[in-house]
Chains A and B, each alone.
Chain A
Amino acid sequence: MSLKNILENWSHYRRGIEQGGHHKYEHMWGMALDLNKCIGCNACSVACYAENNLAVVGHDRFAKNQVMHWLRIERYWDEPDLDKVSDSTSQYQEHGASFLPMMCQQCNAATCEPVCPVAATYHTPDGLNAQVYNRCIGSRYCSNNCPYRLRYFNWFSFYESSWPAPLHLQLNPDLTVRDKGVMEKCTFCVQRIRVAKDKAKMENRKVVDGEFQTSCQQSCPTTAIVFGDMLDPESKVSTLWRTHQVELGKTKQAKQNRELRGYRVFEALNTEPKVMYMERVREV
């Protein structure tokens, strides 16, 4: 890597492959999430707790927002119909809730990556936004620079009280339990990706689409979550992205047809999120 090379090809180093840049990806794991199918049951969130050894923080800390849910179901409510909700006794209405499951968007141009002073978060050749717990010193800058606010900090040694015996026996041995002072977030179940990749390598083949599932995908009763390799044009997730005419490297999609429901959260910020949501169809 000579200086001349850097100066001439600087813009290439800064861009991903989707913008004609330099990075070569082995895979590019992405997601498509159909909000039409989402019933807000929280099964994905619970499955994530079980799979990824997420700390259970208890009621008080949950109320204080010191909660560690990597995948959260965000509830949004329609504007209340004031004629029907005349008594203000109930905090929520009977109808009009919509759900948005939010997990790390695994942005290809992630804003959390350049700001970490010790490079504890970086981009893997799998197109994942990795978080190295052992390297993290807890400056929390990444969370401050994440427009989705999808990073969670270990404010305490949650593990000490999270899994009283015999619950500790259900911990997943494939990944660590995090101590205080470390940032964590959704990894797209990187431990499952590793297993699938290793298996494929042993058998000297490529990873087949649908060979493994993330835990949220696996637990979704309505199959709202689709996960796969976006570099594989035949994969289910690529097909969905293509069908909905959502392109990864764009800050604004060119599609005109309103029937195509695909969109990404804050794609205008040029973070290139790799999770596509399909809008919910509403009665007017």
Chain B
Amino acid sequence: MQTKDINEQIKWAQINKDVLSSMENPRMAYWVAVAVCVAMIACAAAAVGYVYTTGQGVLDLYWPEMWGLFIATFIFWIGMSHSGTLLSAILHIVHADWRKPIYRFAEAMTTFSLMTAGLFPIIHLGRMWNLYWVLPYVSDRGIWPNFRSPLAWDCFAIFTYLTSSALFLFIGMIPDLAICRDNAKGWRKKLYTVLSLGWAGTDRQWRHFRKTYLLMACFLIPLAVSVHSIVSSDFAMSIMPGWHVTSFPPYFVAGALYSGCAAIITLFIILRYFFRFEEYMTIPILEKTCKLTFVIAMAWSYLNLIEFAATWYGHDAAAKEVLWDKFTGPFSPYFWAMLFFGSVLPFALAFEKLRRHLPTMFVVSLLLNVGMWLERWMIVSPTLSLSYHPFAWKVVWPSMVQWAVVFGSFGWFGLLFLVFVKVFPSVSMYEVKEMVYHRRRAHEEDQAKIFHRRTSDPQPAIDTPSA
């Protein structure tokens, strides 16, 4: 049974070779995947075109159900984007070095899921061509967006997060891009030459690089937390029963990390299988990710319970009725499915046997994300169907046009990701080398004395390793 996170005897050249070869010669399966994604996007594009030309009514949205699946899926994708920040920024700061082989694709996932999420509020607008009115640009007429509106905050938060996470992804890739530059030919050589910004690996460059990277990490963590808190305030700031919940910001952030981690497991297994990354995306690292997901799942379940209890003991009749309707009303099958996938299924992650079994983990991680998608839908729709005014109690089911757009968004995300893995290194070569280096040193006797000691042990005499 493999217990070490990474093969400590691996050669530097081998790492370069493995990762660089993953970027070359796409096989048949790759082109099939691209074709599927493009077909999915075409499906969504046709649906959006239909909505654009006829009107939002074809979505089968109608009074009083004004939002529906688009906003639910928007929250879902925003949530997905939190995984990258968790792995690359939070785990970077707490020095969890097992993140190093898998953080690059998680970070790419962050950027791409934000690019997917951002499309939904745009296409759900009645007059999407006027979207830019939400931006605070200076106009002759002195008209500004409404700074009190959570939707305007959303716009700022998502743009900020998208720019920062794309920058973070790029900055973390610079040393790797230099490796690519040194090994590439043709158009790739030109591309990497520009992107690697003249990286030569000098001491000075590394020092600046470390500082920038750490600074970006520190900047990104509060940003990630605030983004989903702001998305949650779309609901928490309203006065509607089932939306006006104080615990929504942490609940949304927990849900976001949860679905992000589950997506990391899915992509981990896919990349490991197709790119033969067994040396880097190892079973012990998967296990650690699974444990992390389990913890977040439990935090999410706890926050769910808090919401139920607060509503139940709060004695707000309308909110109570919405909650009760979720458990017993027309949405109940989906609500129970969400509770099962979100709170019961993650217990599969608690067993080592299951954690080490890749097909099981693949299916479980997909189902966890189904549960998280259902969660978002169960936040949006039941409240709209059953709010304060009894006259406006209507249950509305989304039309195929809505489903087509939701379906297509997965194709859009998939296509971006597929392009990414062939153009950029999806495993961080320089950080894997660092990890291997530190792991090797940790086993040397004098180093072990330093690394493997409790705080109460006497301080060993340190020989500086460079000496």
Pair from one complex: yes
A184 vs chain B, min Cβ distance (A): 11
In the complex, how many angstroms separate the beta carbon of B142 from the nearest chain A beta carbon?
Answer: 12
B57 close to A61 (CB less than 8 A): yes
- A210 close to B (CB within 8 Å): no
Q: Is the CB of B64 within 8 A of A102?
A: no
Known contacts A64-B62, A66-B63, A118-B134: does B144 contact A147 (CB below 8 Å)?
no
CB < 8 Å neighbour of A138 from B127, B146, B148, B389: B127
CB-CB under 8 A for A74 and B391, given A66-B57, A139-B151, A181-B55: yes
Contact B151 A117 (CB under 8 A): yes
Query: In the complex, A111 Cα to B237 Cα: how many Å?
Result: 10
Q: Name the residue of chain B whose CB is nearest to the CB of A181.
A: B126
Smallest distance from the beta carbon of A207 to chain B beta carbons, Å?
A: 29
- Interface residues of chain A: helix, strand, loop or mixed (majority): loop
- Please report the C-alpha to C-alpha distance between residue A100 and residue B124 in the assembled complex, in whole angstroms: 32
A42 within 8 A of B: no
Across the interface, B238 reaches (CB within 8 A) one of A111, A148, A181, namely A111
Cα distance A181–B145 in the bound complex, in angstroms = 18
Instruction: Please determine whether A114 and B149 come into contact, CB atoms closer than 8 angstroms.
Output: yes
Q: Given contacts A140-B66, A180-B55, are A145 and B133 in contact (CB under 8 A)?
A: no
Q: How far is the CA of A147 from the CA of B64 in the complex (A)?
A: 10
B56 touches A153 (CB 8 A): yes
Indicate if the CB atoms of A148 and B55 lie closer than 8 Å.
no
Proximity bits, A67-86, B CB within 8 Å = 1, else 0:
10000001010000000000
A76 to B389, CA, bound (A): 12
- Return the CB mask of A42-72 against B: 1 if under 8 Å, else 0: 0000000000000000000100111100000
- Decide if B67 is an interface residue (CB 8 Å cutoff): yes
* Residues 403-427 (chain B) with a chain A CB within 8 angstroms: none
Partner of B54, one of A148, A152, A156: A156
- Cα of A136 to Cα of B151 in the assembled complex, Å: 13
Taking the complex as formed, is B384 at the interface, i.e. its CB lies under 8 A from any CB of chain A? yes
CB of A240 closer than 8 Å to a CB of B? no
Minimum CB distance partner of B131 in chain A: A137
- The CA-CA distance from A57 to B164 in the complex, in Å, is 46
B388 interface residue (CB < 8 Å to A): yes
- B57 is contacted by which of A116, A141, A156, A182 (Cβ under 8 Å)? A156
Which A110-148 residues sit within 8 Å CB-CB of chain B?
111, 114-119, 135-141, 143-145, 147-148
Contact, CB under 8 Å: B125 / A144: no
When A117-B151, A137-B134, A147-B389 are in contact, do A65 and B146 touch as well, CB less than 8 Å?
no
Residues of A near B126 (CB, < 8 A) are 136-140, 153-154, 180-183
A145 proximity list for chain B (CB < 8 A): 238-240
A111, B151: Cβ atoms closer than 8 Å: no
Q: Is the CB of A102 within 8 A of B391?
A: yes
Partner of A115, one of B62, B151, B384: B151
Would you call B152 an interface residue if the criterion is a C-beta within 8 Å of the partner chain's C-beta atoms?
yes
Residues of A within 8 A of B55 (CB): 154-157, 180-181
Residues of A within 8 A of B62 (CB): 64-66, 155
List the A residue with the shortest CB-CB distance to B65.
A65
A141 touches B151 (CB 8 A): yes
A74 to B66, CA, bound (A): 20
Given contacts A115-B150, A137-B127, contact A269 B388 (CB under 8 A): yes
User: How far does the Cβ of B96 sit from chain A's closest Cβ, in whole Å?
Assistant: 39
Judge whether B394 is part of the interface by a CB distance below 8 angstroms: yes
Taking the nearest CB of chain A, how far is it from the CB of B13, in angstroms?
54
| A65 nearest CB across to chain B (Å) | 4
A10 within 8 A of B: no
Report B136 CB to chain A, min CB distance, Å: 11
Q: Evaluate contact between B56 and A143: CB separation under 8 angstroms.
A: no
User: A141 — which chain B residues lie within 8 A by C-beta?
Assistant: 66, 149, 151, 234, 238
A135–B133 CB distance below 8 A: yes
Is A149 positioned at the interface, with any CB of B under 8 Å from its CB? yes
- From 224 to 283 in chain B, residues with beta carbon under 8 angstroms from any chain A beta carbon are 234, 237-240
- Once bound together, how far apart are the Cα atoms of A64 and B271, in whole Å? 46
Q: Are A117 and B57 in contact (CB-based, < 8 A)? A: no
Q: Is A92 an interface residue (CB 8 A)?
A: no
Residues 22-58 of B contacting A (Cβ, < 8 Å): 54-57
Q: List 14 A-B contacts (CB under 8 A).
A: A66-B57, A66-B63, A115-B149, A115-B151, A116-B146, A117-B152, A119-B149, A140-B66, A140-B126, A149-B387, A149-B389, A180-B55, A180-B56, A266-B388
| Given pairs A137-B131, A149-B387, 12 additional interface contacts (CB within 8 A) | A115-B150, A117-B151, A137-B133, A138-B125, A139-B121, A140-B124, A143-B66, A144-B384, A153-B56, A153-B63, A155-B56, A180-B55
A residues at B contact (CB < 8 Å): 61, 64-67, 74, 76, 100, 102, 111, 114-119, 135-141, 143-145, 147-149, 152-157, 180-183, 266, 269
B interface, CB within 8 angstroms of A: 54-57, 60-64, 66-67, 121, 124-128, 130-131, 133-134, 143-146, 148-152, 155, 234, 237-240, 384, 387-389, 391-392, 394
